C-alpha cells in the first residue's frame, strides 16, 4: 500500500490537536478513534484512485501562525465566524439570539462551556467516528471548527456565515469539524466558506455534521476554494428526524485534488433532503464526489442534483446513490447527474445508483456527459461575443439550475465569481 494511504503518524500529533483543558470524554473519543484508525479501511470512491494522495501526511509539529493577513481581517465584517488555521479571529451573533438560547462558538469553547450539549451530538448521529480511516483521523485530530445549536421554536432569519481558512503559509494541519443542530421546529441558514492562504503543500480534512430535529428546517450552503497544493477530504452529513428538512447547496470549486462525501440520512417520517452540487475541475486536478440520500423514514423524500464542468486534463466523477430501506414505504428518491466537457483530454463520469428495497415508492435518475452545445455557442458568437465569453455564458446557463437554488443573493454572487475565475484560468491554458 502506498505510504500516503497508511497512518505513519507520530502520536505527538494527537497531543498537539487537543484543546486546552478539554473534557475527558473528548480526549477519550480522540484516543479511541486514533487506536482504530490504522485498522479501518479507506472509504471507497468509485472510479477514483486517490490512495496515493498525501491525505494523511500531516505536519508533525502542528505549527500555528497567529499573524492574520490584512485581507482576511477586512472580510471579518461580512461573517459571523472567521478562523485562520486553529486561530479564531471572530465569533459573534446578535444579542437577541443569545437571549433566545442559541449557542454559537468555536469547537474549543463548546468543549469547555457546553460540554454536555456538544457530547450529545458530536460523532453520535450524523457521523460515526469509526466509519472509515479518514473519518477516524478527523475525529482524532480535529483542531478547529464551529458548534451551532438552535433551540426549539427559534427561527433565525439572517444567515449564519462561516469563513474557515486553511493556513498554508507553513507546513501545518487543517482538520476542521463543524456541528450544526436545530431542535424541534426551529430554522436556520448557514453558509460555510473554505479557502487557503499560502503556498505550502498540506492536506485538508473538513467535516460537517448537520442534525435537523423534528419539524426543523436547515438551509446549508458552502463555497470551497482550497488551493492547488491542497489535497482535500470533505465529509458533510445530514441526520434528519420526523418532518424535518435540509436543503444543501454546495460549490466544489477547489483547485487541488478533492474527494467529497455528501450524505443525508432521512431517519424520520416525512423528512426531506434536497442536495444541489456544482463542481468545476481544471488543470490536471481530480475530483470525486459521492452524494448519497438514504430513505429510512416513511414518506421521506430525497432529491440529488449535480452539475459539473471539466477543462484541460482534469477529471470529475459524480457518484449519486439513492437508497430506500425496507419499510420506508411512500418514499421518493430522484437524482440527476450531468457533466459538461470542454476539453477532449478531460475525463468525466456520472454514475447514478438506485438501491430500492421497498415496493410502494417513486424513484428515478438521469445522467449525461457531453460537450458544449455548438448551436448555442454559434448563436452567441454571431452576436459579437468571443468564443471564450460565449463558452462561459453557456456554462453559467448549464449551472444555473443549481445556482438559482442558492437562497442568499450574496452567496450566489460569490459562487458565480468563483466559477468565472476558474473558467477564465482554465481557458487561458487551453
Q: Does 389 reside within a domain?
A: no
Alpha carbon distance 354, 310 (integer Å): 25
- Is 202 within a domain? yes
The torsion angle over the Cα atoms of residues 401, 402, 408 and 412, rounded to 10 degrees, is -90
Dihedral-angle region of residue 198 (phi above 0 means left; psi in -120 to 50 means alpha; beta otherwise):
left
Mean pLDDT of 331-352: 94
86-134 pLDDT, tens digit per residue, is 999 999 999 999 999 999 999 999 999 999 999 999 999 999 999 999 9
Spatial separation of the C-alpha atoms in residues 195 and 325, rounded to whole Å: 37
pLDDT digits (tens, 9 = 90+) for 220-271: 999 999 999 999 999 999 999 999 999 999 999 999 999 999 999 999 999 9
Burial (CB count within 10 angstroms: exposed 0-12, middle 13-18, buried 19+), residue 416: middle
Confidence label for 421 from pLDDT (cuts 50, 70 and 90): confident
Phi, psi of 358 (to 5 degrees): -155, 150
In a domain, 298, yes or no: no
Nearest to 288 by CA among 267, 309, 258: 258
Reported pTM: 0.94
What are the pLDDT digits (tens) for 176-200? 999 999 999 999 999 999 999 999 9
Determine the structural domain holding residue 244 and report its residue range: 3-267
Instruction: Measure the CA–CA gap between 265 and 294, rounded to whole angstroms.
Output: 5
Q: What is the dihedral of CA 132, 135, 137, 141, to 10 degrees?
A: -160
Query: What is the H or E stretch that residue 277 is in?
Result: strand 272-281
What confidence tier does 372 reach under pLDDT thresholds 50, 70, 90? confident
- Residue 1: the pLDDT is 37
Q: What is the pLDDT of residues 271-330, one digit of tens each?
A: 999 999 999 999 999 999 999 999 999 999 999 999 999 999 999 999 999 999 999 999
pLDDT category of residue 4 using cuts at 50, 70 and 90:
very low
The number of folded domains in the chain is 1
**Average pLDDT over the chain, rounded to whole?**
92
β-bridge partners, 261: 235, 290
Instruction: Provide the pLDDT for residue 15.
Output: 85
Reduced to 3 states, what is the DSSP secondary structure of residue 296? coil
Q: Which of 34-38, 214-218, 421-425 has the lowest mean pLDDT?
A: 421-425
Q: Domain for residue 33, yes or no?
A: yes
C-alpha cell at 377: 455557442
Q: How confident is the model at residue 62 (pLDDT cuts 50, 70, 90)?
A: low
Residue spans of beta strands (DSSP E) within 229-342: 230-240, 245-252, 258-266, 272-281, 286-295, 301-310, 315-324, 332-341
Q: Is residue 409 part of a domain?
A: no
Cell numbers representing residue 368 in the block: 449525461
Mean pLDDT, residues 368-384: 87
Amino acid at each position: 500500500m502506498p505510504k500516503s494511504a497508511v497512518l505513519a503518524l507520530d502520536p505527538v500529533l494527537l497531543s498537539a490537536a487537543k484543546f486546552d483543558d478539554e473534557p475527558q470524554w473528548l480526549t477519550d473519543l480522540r484516543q479511541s478513534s486514533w487506536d482504530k484508525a490504522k485498522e479501518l479501511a479507506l472509504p471507497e470512491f468509485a472510479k477514483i484512485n486517490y490512495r496515493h494522495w498525501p491525505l494523511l501526511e500531516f505536519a508533525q509539529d502542528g505549527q500555528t501562525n497567529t499573524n492574520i493577513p490584512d485581507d482576511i481581517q477586512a472580510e471579518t465584517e461580512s461573517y459571523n465566524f472567521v478562523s485562520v488555521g486553529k486561530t479564531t479571529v471572530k465569533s459573534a451573533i446578535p444579542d437577541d439570539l443569545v437571549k433566545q438560547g442559541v449557542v454559537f462558538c468555536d469547537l474549543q469553547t463548546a468543549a469547555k462551556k457546553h460540554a454536555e450539549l456538544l457530547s450529545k451530538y458530536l460523532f453520535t448521529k450524523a457521523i460515526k467516528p469509526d466509519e472509515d480511516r479518514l473519518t477516524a483521523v478527523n475525529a482524532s485530530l480535529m483542531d478547529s471548527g464551529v458548534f451551532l445549536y438552535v433551540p426549539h421554536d427559534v427561527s433565525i432569519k439572517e444567515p449564519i456565515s462561516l469563513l474557515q481558512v486553511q493556513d498554508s503559509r507553513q507546513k501545518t494541519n487543517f482538520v476542521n469539524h463543524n456541528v450544526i443542530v436545530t431542535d424541534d421546529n426551529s430554522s436556520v441558514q448557514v453558509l460555510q466558506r473554505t479557502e487557503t492562504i499560502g503556498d505550502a503543500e498540506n492536506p485538508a480534512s473538513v467535516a460537517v455534521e448537520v442534525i435537523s430535529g423534528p419539524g426543523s428546517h436547515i438551509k446549508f450552503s458552502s463555497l470551497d476554494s482550497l488551493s492547488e497544493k491542497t489535497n482535500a477530504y470533505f465529509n458533510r452529513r445530514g441526520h434528519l428526524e420526523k418532518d424535518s428538512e435540509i436543503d444543501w447547496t454546495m460549490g466544489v470549486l477547489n483547485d487541488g485534488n478533492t474527494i467529497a462525501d455528501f450524505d443525508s440520512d432521512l431517519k424520520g417520517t416525512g423528512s426531506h433532503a434536497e442536495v444541489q452540487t456544482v463542481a468545476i475541475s481544471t488543470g490536471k486536478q481530480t475530483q470525486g464526489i459521492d452524494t448519497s440520500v438514504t430513505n429510512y423514514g416513511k414518506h421521506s423524500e430525497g432529491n440529488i442534483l449535480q452539475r459539473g464542468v471539466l477543462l484541460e486534463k482534469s477529471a470529475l466523477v459524480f457518484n449519486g446513490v439513492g437508497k430506500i430501506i425496507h419499510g420506508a414505504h411512500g418514499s421518493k428518491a430522484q437524482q440527476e447527474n450531468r457533466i459538461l466537457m470542454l476539453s477532449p483530454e478531460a475525463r468525466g463520469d456520472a454514475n447514478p445508483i438506485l438501491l430500492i428495497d421497498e415496493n410502494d415508492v417513486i424513484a428515478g435518475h438521469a445522467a449525461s456527459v457531453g460537450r458544449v452545445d455548438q448551436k448555442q455557442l454559434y448563436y452567441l458568437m454571431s452576436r459579437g461575443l468571443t468564443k471564450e465569453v460565449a463558452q462561459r455564458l453557456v456554462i453559467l446557463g448549464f449551472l444555473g439550475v443549481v445556482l438559482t437554488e442558492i437562497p442568499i443573493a450574496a452567496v450566489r454572487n460569490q459562487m458565480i465569481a468563483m466559477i468565472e475565475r476558474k473558467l477564465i484560468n482554465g481557458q487561458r491554458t487551453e
